[in-house]
Chain A
Amino acid sequence: MNRRAQQPETKQVEHISFVKPHIFDVTPDVKLLWMKEVPNDTVRLDLFFDAGITRGNKSIPAIVHSLLLSGTNKHSSVEIHERIDALGGFLDTDISFETAVVSIYCLREYIREISNIVADAIQNLAFRETEVEDVLRSMRQQFAVNQQKVKYVAQQQFRKHLFASNPNYSTISEESDYEDSNVMAYKKYWKEHYLEGLTRITLVGDLEVDEVDALIDLFGKWAVDGKVEHAGGFQFRAERIDFPKEDAVQSAIRMGRFLFPKSHEDYIDFQMLNTILGDYFGSRLMSNIREDKGYTYGIGSGVMDMNKTGYFVIVTEVGKEVLENTLKEIKFELDRLQNELVPEDELDLVKNYTLGQLLKSADGPYAMLDMYNGVDMYGLTLEFYDEAIRKIKSITPERIRELAKQYLKFEDFLIITAG
């Protein structure tokens, strides 16, 4: 027998150790999560703020976020960055729907000093006129560039129409947002959402406890007062809307619908359905639309978690001439999951694959902290993952079909195309 024709024996992942971080109460509502066991000198500190893009209009959340390190009365933005760079530190900032994050990456000997610089920069932000102008100029230019990307247009329009019932969530950026500065409004937003808006701190690094206490003292003064409320109950219309772009050679597709928050009983099972449909290289969408038809470089699906809900979305960019065929094939795959049982062989593969990926997601202090944070933010515990392992191992083809019938009807989707 040809030994090369036979796959070596494989074993399903049996056990995954999930490590809980040390938890400090900054206030009754704001925590610091700390993963101490790091085998080298690296440190990452993340500050989470109740300052996502849905917390204000006219792009104010994004503008203020970009201005955070733009200078105090004492130090210009270049000087602030100069000081952080001198200590070998890196800053990263990120803004999403419901959260804004400021992250520091550095070696542990410098975390205290860099934190002091960042704390001072945000606390004493001066909104210097030239800096505000500079940020607005850059953002205006980036906005113009983004308008030429079909992917970006589809993404923005998808958001606008999916969240149609709530203006805070559905309002997308416009060029005029960056034309005239409104420092009064920026200041108000900064005070409310940063100086009184810290929602949590996460920390990875082999530090001493008193260093962690010092960070809590330093940043704790920004803690939000009370629990942060988020919106839910969004309504949208299932329809197709096209945004033509004449000279485009590809069209972007964004299509999806609302689901449920992470705490919902169908969440984990639905993730299995999502993986089969579009969340790994061998998924049905990839196999059909890329690997069989060659219509695209990539197609995928995913679940976006929000505080009160979550939504499902399919994302791709395809040759303009095959847009209609692609939509037809997506419908075909959605229908097939509703009408036919997933073969045991395919389901077993997805089970093994998912468990392997879960093992990888818990590998190392950085990954593990993100994983913990990914449930704790939604009020869940590590039990979520133990339950996930049980559910992944026991899910049946019938259950997959039932979920597909409930959640994956083509006619329930909002479909946006651009290009």
Chain B
Amino acid sequence: MIAFNRFKLENGLTVLHHFDSTTPMAVVNTLYNVGARDESEEKTGFAHLFEHLMFGGSVNIPDFDAPLQRAGGESNAFTSNDITNYYDVLPIQNIETALWLESDRMLSLAFTPKSLEVQRNVVIEEFKQRYLNQPYGDVWLELRPLAYKKHPYKWATIGKNIQHIEDATMDDVKAFFKAHYHPANAILCIAGNISLDETKRLVDKWYGDIPASLKPERILPKEPVQTEYRELTIERKVPHDAFYYSFKMPERKNFEYYVADIISDALGREKSSRLYSKLKKELKLVTSINAYITGSLDEGLLIIDGKLSDGVSFEELDKGLWPLLEDIKKELMTEAETSKLLNKIRTVKEFQEQGLLNRAMNLCLYELLGDANGVNEENILYQSITAEQIKTVANQLFTKENTSLLRVKSIKE
């Protein structure tokens, strides 16, 4: 159970306070309700590039990191298709430094041309390091536009291509800040050995005078219901053939989201899972196989990916895989299997809740979903899942018309 308090400033900033007297550290976590899904199709990769610029100095403070390090702390951030999340971890006695820094960059950035130029290069190197210079590194750049035709999930957070990042201008940057970086579009969580009163006093001191702005309206193109089987084969200089089956699944707010998550665990999370034991261990069609969900807030994907054994064709795998998907659609899962899956979830949850940073991030995410207390209800939701529900959702997921298959064909030099 993660206890918390919630209050709101007049400018619209939502604040969560989580008290923990057992740790000498504090966490200041800021979630901005903006991700790659909010980009225009002509300027992709922007939310992520912007995250880099948030460390390039703010209106009153030329350098973000040095003052935080001087306070014994450190900071990082991540961008997803849905959100941008910034966090600072530092000794509790210096928490005010984090609030000073975070509030100033919510107020306004320095917008120096040098910062833009350098971070453009850094992000381009990141693009190369993670997507271009790794075997199979670019599969998500191919799989997303295959699975999504309208919704902005069709591009990756890094962007559609390097060109979009190269072309980013200062005007773009400023407009992006104005639209998305202000109190009403943020959720702040303060966690550690600090009272609610002291939290209120400090938050009011540093965030109280940040001007309010209107919460941007999010009107995203809706992804039409997929009605046809899709497949794409790409050729790459990689050592082995690889496959990526993706199936559209319900959005995060939907109960079926959790059911789909359990289904992916049943299929391919562990070394006792259905696909692993049958396709790898028994039939030896693959050398690796996994099933997981993308975890997105809007309609997401359940993915089954892996690599073929030498001499096995994509067709042979397909013939081996579908009967297993049919099984989960036809047969009710045994109680032994559901209880195994739910036990694992309980363990994961218990370990996750240990970390102060994890708690702060999750509180913010659930607040975005509607109520921070959702973090305490998640496990109950999972534990309530029945075999009938698993069967029903499996029937929705595993149809040919709901499938997008990417094949990576290995070619020699």
Most chain A beta-carbon neighbours within 10 Å: one of B100, B121, B347: B347
The minimal Cβ–Cβ distance linking A222 to chain B, given in whole angstroms, is: 23
Contact with A along B6-43 (1 / 0, CB 8 A): 00000000000000001111000000000000000000
- The answer for the CA separation of A46 and B339 in the assembled complex, in Å, is 26
Contact of A359 among B91, B347, B353 (CB under 8 A): B91
Contact of B347 among A78, A88, A356 (CB under 8 A): A88
Contact B287 A137 (CB under 8 A): yes
- The answer for the CA separation of A8 and B353 in the assembled complex, in Å, is 31
B117 surroundings in chain A (CB, below 8 A): 294
A295 surroundings in chain B (CB, below 8 A): 121, 125
The minimal Cβ–Cβ distance linking B281 to chain A, given in whole angstroms, is: 6
Determine whether B164 belongs to the interface, using a CB cutoff of 8 Å to chain A.
no
Contact B97 A10 (CB under 8 A): yes
- The answer for the CA separation of A250 and B120 in the assembled complex, in Å, is 16
Number of interface residues of A (CB under 8 A): 74
Contact B129 A250 (CB under 8 A): yes
Number of interface residues of B (CB under 8 A): 72
Contact B70 A145 (CB under 8 A): no
Contact B239 A144 (CB under 8 A): yes
Which chain B residue shows the least CB distance to A317?
B129
A86 surroundings in chain B (CB, below 8 A): 336, 339-340, 343
The minimal Cβ–Cβ distance linking A198 to chain B, given in whole angstroms, is: 23
Which chain A residue shows the least CB distance to B71?
A10
Instruction: Determine the main DSSP class of A at the interface with B.
Output: mixed
Contact B133 A292 (CB under 8 A): no
Determine whether B386 belongs to the interface, using a CB cutoff of 8 Å to chain A.
no
- The answer for the CA separation of A180 and B60 in the assembled complex, in Å, is 65
The minimal Cβ–Cβ distance linking A248 to chain B, given in whole angstroms, is: 6
- Interface contacts beyond A10-B70, A42-B347, A360-B89: sample of 16 additional A-B pairs, CB < 8 Å, sorted by A: A8-B94, A10-B72, A10-B94, A13-B91, A85-B340, A134-B280, A145-B238, A148-B135, A247-B237, A250-B128, A281-B75, A318-B125, A350-B69, A355-B72, A359-B72, A363-B23
Residues of B within 8 A of A (CB): 22-25, 59-61, 65-67, 69-75, 89-91, 93-94, 96-97, 100, 104, 107, 117-122, 124-126, 128-130, 132-136, 237-240, 270-272, 276-277, 280-281, 284, 287-288, 307, 309-310, 336, 339-340, 343-344, 346-347, 350-351, 353-354
Residues of A within 8 A of B (CB): 2, 4-5, 7-13, 16, 39-42, 76-79, 81-82, 84-90, 105-107, 130, 134, 137-138, 141, 144-145, 147-150, 247-250, 280-282, 290-297, 317-319, 348-350, 352-353, 355-357, 359-360, 363-364, 366, 419
Which 8 A/B pairs are nearest by Cβ-Cβ distance? A356-B72, A294-B121, A88-B343, A144-B239, A82-B272, A4-B60, A8-B96, A81-B272
